């Protein structure tokens, strides 16, 4: 069996999904996602210029060898752009394997460990009341877990994932007006003084059952993160996410010495070598990698297995930039993983998105139910894809009030 051709598409309804389609001499095709938010054209070019020409003629069933070929064969290994490109190939090859076996991918991993996977959505508000309204809407929709972010009184600008006016939560993560970033101004002191009580009020309003998550988005120094974690402990958070920048793994030791708050890290990691120490030293509780830029299913599964040895559960990244293809790959891993924790899932199911990526994966009562169709269980309508093209976007850049550049 041979790979005969592969094509890359960039675009989508209000998104820049990078979709790879791999064709074979037996008529079976596979789909994969290489969407690296706000840098989408780069994995697309890496695929087109370097990987696809090499891929033609390979046996698509050799998922492992093909992964090793690209990773080890590159000499300059890894990095998020390359790993997103390998990830897309890997997802597409698993999709082909599932179709050949006529089984959904979770069956090839070891079958189902659960019927529905717990998901969380993003609640956000310009202020605390606005956030409470947003949480209520998700609770009414049946979500059992929500991530909460709100505006901080006196903060010079809206900060991470917070709308600048009430009821204004939209696609606050990517600004599609161009590649020039807007600027957020951040004040750690205001955040640290306000947020613990705000989280306590959310807990008081919604009671003990709701899983409450909060994302610090890398903004604190290690000592501040330890103090913050201690302060929010009575809230009983499901997790505290990215309290410090991800590069400094030892930073977590201080937090661990001072608090038992569960810690989730890893959405920017693209390799097991960026999280093996965090996992082996049991400095985190949830690993946040995504199949998209952690090298696809083959590499992510390796991370999940290592995590399982150390009581670390999964909480795969599922920000709104992820395509239905990577969310499907994660859904199959979530259905199987013995150490599954939770899945970030923002409903993608607009009519336009469903037309582009038809599938019967579904969200019900805050639980994600994986499709039983062979492979990933997602199709791709190339005719629909012709309606879309790349549109440049950006993340905000963060500065302190004196102008010092800070962590987004």
Residue placing its CB nearer to ligand GCO in the complex, 132 or 161: 161
Per CB under 6 A, does 37 bind ligand GCO? yes
What is the C-alpha separation between 46 and 65, in angstroms, rounded?
Answer: 19
Burial zone of 311 (CB within 10 Å; 0-12 exposed, 13-18 middle, 19+ buried): exposed
254-283 residues in contact with Mg ion (CB under 5 A) are 267
What is the C-alpha separation between 344 and 147, in angstroms, rounded?
Answer: 9
**Least distance between ligand GCO and beta carbon 332 (Å):** 20
Residue 227 binds which one of Mg ion, ligand GCO, none, with CB within 5 to 8 A depending on kind? none
Q: Which helix (H) or strand (E) holds 296?
A: helix 296-309
- Annotate 124-154 with b (16+ C-beta within 10 A) or e (fewer): bbbbbebbbebbeebbeeebbbbbbbbbbee
What are the tokens at 284?
């985190």
Residue in 303, 384, 380 with CA at minimum distance from that of residue 95? 380
Residue placing its CB nearer to Mg ion in the complex, 42 or 216: 216
Number of Cβ within a 10 Å radius of residue 253: 13
Q: Please pick, among 211, 214, 217, 218, the residue that the annotation labels catalytic.
A: 217
Q: Please pick, among 17, 46, 106, 160, the residue that the annotation labels catalytic.
A: 160
Applying CB under 5 A, among 215, 224, 227, 285 the residue interacting with Mg ion is: 215
Q: Is 160 a catalytic residue?
A: yes
Q: How far is CA 272 from CA 79, 80, 279, 289, 356, in A?
A: 12, 12, 10, 9, 32
**Least distance between ligand GCO and beta carbon 316 (Å):** 10
Give the ranges where 265-295 is alpha helix by DSSP (H).
276-280
Per CB under 6 A, does 97 bind ligand GCO? no
Residue placing its CB nearer to ligand GCO in the complex, 28 or 124: 124
What is the C-alpha separation between 408 and 183, in angstroms, rounded?
Answer: 10
Per CB under 5 A, does 130 bind Mg ion? no
Contacts for 151 with CB less than 8 Å, ≥ 6 apart: 125, 126, 127, 130, 158, 159, 162, 163, 164
Per CB under 5 A, does 344 bind Mg ion? no
Residue 173 binds which one of ligand GCO, Mg ion, none, with CB within 5 to 8 A depending on kind? ligand GCO
121-180 residues in contact with ligand GCO (CB under 6 A) are 161, 173
Q: Is 238 a catalytic residue?
A: no
**Least distance between ligand GCO and beta carbon 38 (Å):** 6
Draw the binding track, 325-364, toward ligand GCO (x: CB under 6 A; -: no contact). -------------------x--------------------
Tell me which residue has its CB nearest to Mg ion: 215
Residue placing its CB nearer to ligand GCO in the complex, 58 or 202: 202
248-307 residues in contact with ligand GCO (CB under 6 A) are 267
DSSP state of 235: G
What is the C-alpha separation between 236 and 222, in angstroms, rounded?
Answer: 21
- Residues annotated as catalytic (active site), given as ranges: 160, 217
Binding site for Mg ion (CB under 5 A): 215, 267
Binding site for ligand GCO (CB under 6 A): 37, 161, 173, 215, 217, 267, 317, 319, 321, 344, 395
């Amino acid at each position: 069996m041979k790979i005969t051709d592969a094509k890359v598409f960039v675009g989508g309804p209000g998104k820049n999904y990078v979709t790879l389609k791999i064709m074979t001499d037996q008529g079976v095709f596979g789909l994969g996602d290489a969407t690296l938010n706000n840098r989408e054209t780069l994995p697309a070019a890496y695929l087109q210029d370097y990987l696809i020409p090499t891929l033609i003629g390979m046996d698509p069933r050799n998922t492992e060898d093909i992964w090793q070929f690209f990773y080890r064969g590159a000499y300059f290994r890894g990095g998020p752009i390359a790993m997103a490109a390998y990830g897309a190939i890997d997802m597409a090859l698993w999709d082909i394997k599932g179709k050949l076996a006529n089984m959904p991918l979770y069956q090839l991993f070891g079958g189902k460990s659960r019927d529905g996977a717990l998901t969380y959505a993003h609640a956000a508000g310009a202020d605390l009341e606005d956030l409470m309204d947003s949480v209520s809407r998700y609770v009414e929709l049946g979500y059992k877990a929500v991530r909460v972010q709100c505006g901080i009184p006196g903060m010079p600008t809206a900060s991470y994932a917070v709308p600048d006016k009430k009821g204004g939560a939209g696609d606050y993560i990517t600004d599609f007006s161009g590649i020039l970033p807007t600027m957020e101004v951040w004040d750690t002191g205001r955040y640290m003084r306000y947020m613990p009580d705000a989280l306590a009020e959310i807990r008081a309003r919604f009671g003990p059952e709701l899983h409450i998550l909060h994302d610090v988005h890398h903004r604190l120094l290690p000592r501040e993160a330890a103090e913050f974690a201690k302060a929010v402990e009575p809230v009983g958070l499901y997790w505290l996410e990215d309290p410090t920048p991800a590069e400094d793994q030892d930073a977590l030791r201080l937090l661990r010495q001072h608090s038992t708050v569960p810690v989730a890290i890893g959405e920017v990691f693209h390799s097991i070598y960026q999280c093996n120490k965090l996992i082996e030293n049991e400095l985190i509780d949830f690993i946040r990698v995504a199949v998209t830029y952690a090298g696809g299913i083959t590499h992510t599964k390796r991370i999940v297995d290592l995590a399982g040895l150390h009581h670390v559960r999964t909480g795969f990244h599922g920000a709104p930039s992820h395509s239905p293809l990577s969310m499907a790959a994660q859904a199959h891993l979530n259905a199987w993983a013995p150490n599954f924790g939770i899945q970030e899932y923002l409903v993608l199911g607009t009519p336009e998105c469903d037309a582009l990526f038809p599938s019967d994966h579904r969200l019900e009562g805050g639980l994600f139910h994986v499709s039983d169709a062979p492979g990933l269980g997602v199709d791709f309508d190339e005719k629909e894809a012709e309606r879309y093209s790349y549109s440049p976007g950006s993340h905000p850049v963060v500065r302190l009030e004196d102008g010092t550049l800070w962590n987004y």
